[in-house]
Structure 1
Amino acid sequence: MDIVVLAGGLSSERDVSFKSGTQVAAALRNRGHRALVLDVFMGFSDAECDITDIFENSEENSVKVENIPTEAPDIKAIIASRADKSASFFGPNVIRICQKADIVFMALHGGDGESGKVQAAFDLFGIRYTGNDYISSAVAMDKQMTKDFLDRAGVPTPVGVSLKKENRRGFKFDKYPCIVKPNCGGSSIGVTIVESADQLGAALDAAFEWENEVVVEQFIKGREFSDGVIEGKALPVIEIAPKQGFYDYKNKYAAGSAVETCPAELTVTQTETMQKYAEKAFKALGLTTYARMDFMMDEEGDIYCLEANTLPGMTPTSLLPQEAAVIGLDFEDLCEDLIEVSLKKYGIKHG
């Protein structure tokens, strides 16, 4: 198959996306596919060009990224660096190249990549892609909306409220410690644990740097877990234990910063409960292909679902691939499997 592995973009997780895309493309090439890593924002070439044979030299034509920086990207500088200065999210030749592909493997994270906007555009252009449709992606990307859907489905989630920038004057939260985070962000960028009311203002400032709506919610002290779901079926649960602090951007992507245990060391009942919540959340959000649910378990053993990730990290050491490996699905198998379940949206049977 000719496959575009779409990465980059303009979210705070731009660099993480490139890492996922590079690893996915390598795995797909090992399976005999022609996989091209393409930056959705920068595009390919600065002007319209001949893309007839672009997949014949897919590796040479791909974006090359080595490591994930320890700091979030400077999005304003990236926007300013694009040669065509267009306001379009899609860079030069991106749509044309994606239309030539058999399928686009969505390695985008956060921002427009997971919000459903790219998915909706691809639907209009007749482009096939991995992952969920635009509606369920949009719902899951919105943390407060996700919490509302989880509440209705009977999946426990921390008590919280959303707050828009224009309404922050006089805002108070009566439950401390709490956590402040961008409503549609990822990779824990702009996230602050707030111990008391006098710290709230600075935390809001940090979150509002990334977007105009934030979530302020009850902070759950305890153990952190994640559970992937493929076609409605939960994978083994993984536990994430940062060596210092909480699971922030650095601890997610700096080697050796966290201990990840899969299967997580839980009782049978705890494991089954978390998997049940993951599957219920998946269904409640209207997801159909794959996703990953994040959880906290407090010191009393109560479980809370924090959010859903509709395009989870995809390096061999990312959480979803680690969970899949436990059931005998290696990274290359997983990449193939995600393509297969995604093609079902289009009535296509692969493999």
Structure 2
Amino acid sequence: MSAKAKHVTVLMGGFSAEREVSLTSGAACAAALAAAGYRVTTLDVRRDAAALIAGIPKDTDVVFNALHGRFGEDGCIQGILDIMGIPYTHSGRLASALAMDKPMAKHAFSAAGIPVAADLLADRETLNAGDPMPRPYVVKPFNEGSSVGVRIVRPGDNTELYTAAAWPYGEKAMVEEYIPGREVTVAVLGDRALGVTEIRPAQGFYDYAAKYTEGKAVHICPAPLPPALTAHICDLAVRAHAVLGCRGASRADFRIDETDPAKPRVVILEVNTQPGMTPLSLVPELARHVGMSFEDLVSWMVENARCDA
């Protein structure tokens, strides 16, 4: 079937904390797919499974999943599309669920020999009682994306209260060893890494605002790293993609601790199975680096869509 004959429904919006980002991603992808010759329908997904199923046109050939966050990238929507038998972009339900559950993903990485930071799960009582590990450390929701809710607790910081109002991300949080140094990311398409980008926030760390606000962070593509270190990080990203069972596009985030310059420590933070597709996003940037236009990228995703039906 030619691109002009293929009907693609773009799912966007959703009801997670990343709704606005998803709307931006979805609009950009829909425009690029239309320009590439596909017949495109967009669907703003709400918290109504029956409406979602009814809203996907019956002649849809492929669903382009531009949803971010819970329900969109945690295996839920993937399961619905598997039941419907409609091919969709990005990873299937198991890989999506594993990647979204940070502790489970780290267990998989560690078992495969991919280096991870030390971590523990703590409930509100534990967090409010005192430091669960030596400072500095990172506190993050264990099943959110886009750095939603991430906090770095440093020496001298006032203790924050993890009440339901101050911490609306569930009863438990993931507490993780803080890895100093540089932050880099790798885009993986299928079984190949496109390259490494270094991320330098204007201030603080690469939080939600830095990800999606122009001028809040600088992307250096390709990252200024020795060739051997670049190759090592790319290899880790491809291995992490494979360990989780990802398909299509993913993005792996790493920290490089250069406390000992002769032996830098590379640690994986997470794999994002639904990487952002906004004008500021990293995967489109890395694709351009290897000569792949945004239209080429989204077309590749559509042509490699699958389902687990």
Structure 1 length-normalised TM: 0.80
Runs of at least 5 residues in structure 2 that lack an aligned partner in the other structure: 1-5
3-state SS, counterpart of residue 214 of structure 1: strand
Higher strand share: 2
Deviations 1:252-301 (A, max 9, x none): 11111111011111001110111011011111111122211011111332
Matched, 1:92 2:55: no
Q: Secondary structure at the match of 2:149?
A: coil
Q: Could you tell me the TM-score, scaled by structure 2's length? A: 0.90
More off after superposition, 318-327 vs 164-173 = 164-173
| Structure 1 partner of 2:44 | 39
Quote how far apart the aligned CAs of 1:36 are. 1.9
CA distance in 1, matches of 2:283, 2:52: 31
Alignment size in residue pairs: 300
Q: Displacement, 1:212? A: 3.3
Among candidates 229, 233, 236, match of residue 192 of structure 2: 233
Cα offset, 1:103, TM superposition: 0.8
- Amino acid corresponding to residue 34 of structure 1 in structure 2: R
Cα displacement (A) at 1:197: 8.5
**Of 9, 14, 21, which aligns to 1:9?**
14
* Greater alpha carbon shift after TM alignment, 245-254 vs 23-32: 245-254
Aligned alpha-carbon RMSD (Å): 2.2
Could you say which residue in structure 2 is the equivalent of 1:248?
207
Q: CA deviation at 1:207?
A: 7.2
Output aligned runs, 1:185-334, within 5 Å. Answer: 185-196=144-155, 199-202=158-161, 208-300=167-259, 301-334=264-297
Separation of aligned partners in 2, 1:150 and 1:12: 26
Q: Deviations over 1:92-131 (max 9, x none)?
A: 3544425431111000011111110110111112222111
Q: 1:346 to 1:201 in 2, by over 3 A?
A: closer
Residue 127 and residue 248 in structure 1: after superposition, are their counterparts in 2 closer, same or farther (change >3 A)?
Answer: same
d(CA) in 1 for partners of 2:258 and 2:157? 26
- Mapping of 1:85-234 within 5 angstroms? 88-90=47-49, 92=51, 94-165=53-124, 170=129, 172-196=131-155, 199-202=158-161, 208-234=167-193
- Which has the bigger relative contact order, CA under 8 A and spacing at least 6? 2
Measure how far apart 1:193 and its partner are. 0.5
State whether residues 180 and 207 of structure 1, in contact with CA within 8 Å, keep that contact through their aligned partners in structure 2. no
Matching of residue 19 in structure 1 with residue 30 in structure 2: no
CA contact (8 A) 2:32 2:298 kept: yes
In 1: Cα distance, 2:147 partner to 2:52 partner: 32
**Partner Cα distance (2:194, 2:90) in 1:** 17
Contact kept? 2:252, 2:268, Cα under 8 Å: yes
Q: Distance in 2 between matches of 1:199 and 1:89?
A: 41
Residues 13 and 20, structure 2, Cα contact 8 Å, conserved in 1: yes
State the Cα distance separating 1:202 from its structure 2 match.
3.1
Q: 1:30 aligns with which of 5, 24, 35?
A: 35
Moved more, 129-138 or 315-324: 315-324
Alpha-carbon distance in structure 2 between the residues aligned to 1:118 and 1:289: 16
Structure 1 residue runs without a partner (length 5+): 42-87
Identical residues among aligned pairs (%)? 40
Contact 1:191/1:207 (8 A) holds in 2 = no
Cα separation, partners in 2 of 1:4 and 1:271, compared to 1, 3 Å = same
**Alpha-carbon contact 2:254-2:269 (below 8 Å) kept:** yes
Instruction: Decide whether aligned partners of structure 1 residues 24 and 243 sit closer, same or farther in structure 2, where only a CA change above 3 A counts.
Output: same
Deviates more, 1:198-207 or 1:292-301: 198-207
Structure 2 letter corresponding to 1:17: S
SS across alignment from 2:16: coil
Change beyond 3 A, Cα 1:268–1:197 = same
User: Is contact 1:182-1:207 (8 Å) kept?
Assistant: no
The 1-side partners of 2:109 and 2:7 are apart by 38
Change (3 A) 1:331 1:11: same
Q: Are the counterparts in 2 of residues 7 and 108 from structure 1 also a CA contact under 8 Å?
A: yes
